Amino acid sequence: MSFRSGVATFAGKSSYWFLHTFLHGGSSLPGKITLKLDPNILRTLGAKYDVIVITGTNGKTLTTALTVSVLHEKYPSILTNPTGSNMEQGIVTTFLNAKNPKTGRPLAVLEVDEANVIKVTQYIEPKAFVFTNIFRDQMDRYGEIYTTYQKILDGVALAPNATIIANGDSPIFHSKELPNPIEYYGFDDQPDTDMKAKPNTDGVLCPNCEHILHYHSLTYSNQGKYFCPNCGFSRPELTYRLTKLGEQTPTSSKFEIDGHPFKIQVGGTYNIYNALAAYAVGRFMGVTPIQISNAFNANQQVFGRQEVIDVDGKRVTIILVKNPVGLDQVLHMIGTDTHPFSLVGLLNANYADGIDTSWIWDGDFEQLADRDIPTVITGGERYKDITFRLKVAGIPDDRHIVEPNLEKVVDEIKKVSTDRVYVLATYTAMLQMRKILADKGYVKEGLGL
């Protein structure tokens, strides 16, 4: 370690200690301070680790949490960023907080923002990359899906020997030839048919001939067993297959992968993809199916991702939403709840959320009008936008409470008639809500912003 790196590391660790001792935490500032003193600090901090990078639009945080649980079945020392602080400064902070490994070469399983992959691979060559999916998201930062994928590939190009473990059901991950070894995971539980994705679905043009892709089976959006009837482009051979889809509820999912039965303690088809990715990483790293099943059964709560919090007897489930595809999958998931529930929508438009809120108009909020939801609450910094969107979707005024102040939103949640409450929140709104709940003693700790 150079003198400069040593000073930077000491400053970063000192600021981390101060923030977490006196100011209830902070995942960004220690990394910012360290990078200011040594912009190349990741080369020093990451030198001792075998790194697995998990990136993509949706599902990074849960995929990372599940992957860490799976790998802990075989590997005792794993560094990770569990709260989803996935930009360069947050990743630096994660390394600053690491305990020095006593033996061997430890693993680091890192959730990494798509545009920040290259900021990691400039200094660290990962052992593997995990690609979850690419959907239209935060267009002010990423642009269209092909621009987002290119940002990832710019980082991958610096690590040509790393294995890519990719969602084989996503056509974009098979659209370019790469030098890396590649393993694919996906769904293979339905007989072949011939269908198309819904109109206006992104990413359904063949990358070879630009003909509209067809599907032998579809899971959601543009994901499934795709093929081009014009030129023969098709889904690659899968290395890891979901072979059976079982019972799904808002709080659990049963399924089989490669013939082995599994259950996770979260609902939603999109979360089964996350589990499938974690399974693929586990098998790549030599973890057995039985060990993976044990990890999935651990019932681990994930920060802000379908995290269930008891608020004076109300079962409050906090769910991050940030783009139309993810929103629609969440709405479909909570729609499977057979119990009465109330709904809260919290919309912010800060940099980490995406400053363009137009994406809410592409989400299928209209399906909520078909449910007898006794109370809907809208709030957050852009409460006017989400309030008007739900009004247009058909939510009656007499059931709709508008409350910009999140502390007062908590008070309103305590008054609803249902025992179950789903809170759909953008990233910074989720952090703000969770901190309020932490300050009130409903969760053990919050995250300093």
CATH number at residue 352: 3.90.190.20
Looking at the fold, whether 282 and 324 belong to one and the same domain comes out as no
* Average pLDDT for 94-112: 84
Is 433 a domain residue?
yes
Looking at the fold, whether 315 and 192 belong to one and the same domain comes out as no
The enclosing domain of 134 has a CATH number of 3.40.1190.10
Q: What is the pLDDT of residue 142?
A: 63
Is 17 a domain residue?
no
Which has more pLDDT, 31 or 447?
31
Is 177 a domain residue?
yes
- The answer to whether residues 70 and 282 touch, using CB atoms and an 8 Å cutoff, is yes
How many domains would you assign to the chain? Answer: 2
Q: From 270, 296, 322, give the residue that closes a domain.
A: 296
Looking at the fold, whether 240 and 135 belong to one and the same domain comes out as yes
Point out the residues that are catalytic: 356
Looking at the fold, whether 136 and 259 belong to one and the same domain comes out as yes
Lowest mean pLDDT among 229-238, 358-367, 375-384: 358-367
Q: Is the pLDDT of residue 371 over 60?
A: yes
Taking the alpha carbons at both ends of the chain, their separation in whole angstroms is 30
Copy the structure tokens of residue 204.
Answer: 């359904």
Is 207 a domain residue?
yes
**How confident is the model over 174-213, as pLDDT tens digits?**
999 999 999 999 999 999 999 999 988 989 999 999 999 9
* Average pLDDT for 89-117: 87
Looking at the fold, whether 220 and 317 belong to one and the same domain comes out as no
Q: What is the pLDDT of residue 33?
A: 87
Looking at the fold, whether 397 and 431 belong to one and the same domain comes out as yes
DSSP 354-394: -S--GGGGGS-GGGGGGS--S-EEEESTTHHHHHHHHHHHT
Is 179 a domain residue?
yes
E strand or H helix at 120: helix 117-121
Looking at the fold, whether 164 and 289 belong to one and the same domain comes out as yes
Phi, psi of 320 (to 5 degrees): -75, 130
Q: Using only the alpha carbons of the chain, give its radius of gyration.
A: 22
* Average pLDDT for 262-289: 96
Looking at the fold, whether 123 and 230 belong to one and the same domain comes out as yes
Q: Domain residues for 200?
A: 49-73+107-296
Is 173 a domain residue?
yes
Q: From 267, 296, 325, give the residue that closes a domain.
A: 296
Q: Is the pLDDT of residue 418 over 60?
A: yes
Is 30 a domain residue?
no
**Residue 87 pLDDT class (50, 70, 90 cuts):** confident
Looking at the fold, whether 135 and 219 belong to one and the same domain comes out as yes
Looking at the fold, whether 337 and 281 belong to one and the same domain comes out as no
* Average pLDDT for 8-27: 73
Looking at the fold, whether 112 and 190 belong to one and the same domain comes out as yes
Q: From 296, 328, 344, give the residue that closes a domain.
A: 296
- Mean of per-residue pLDDT scores for the chain: 91
Q: What is the pLDDT of residue 315?
A: 94
Is 80 a domain residue?
no
* Average pLDDT for 33-51: 91
Looking at the fold, whether 263 and 319 belong to one and the same domain comes out as no
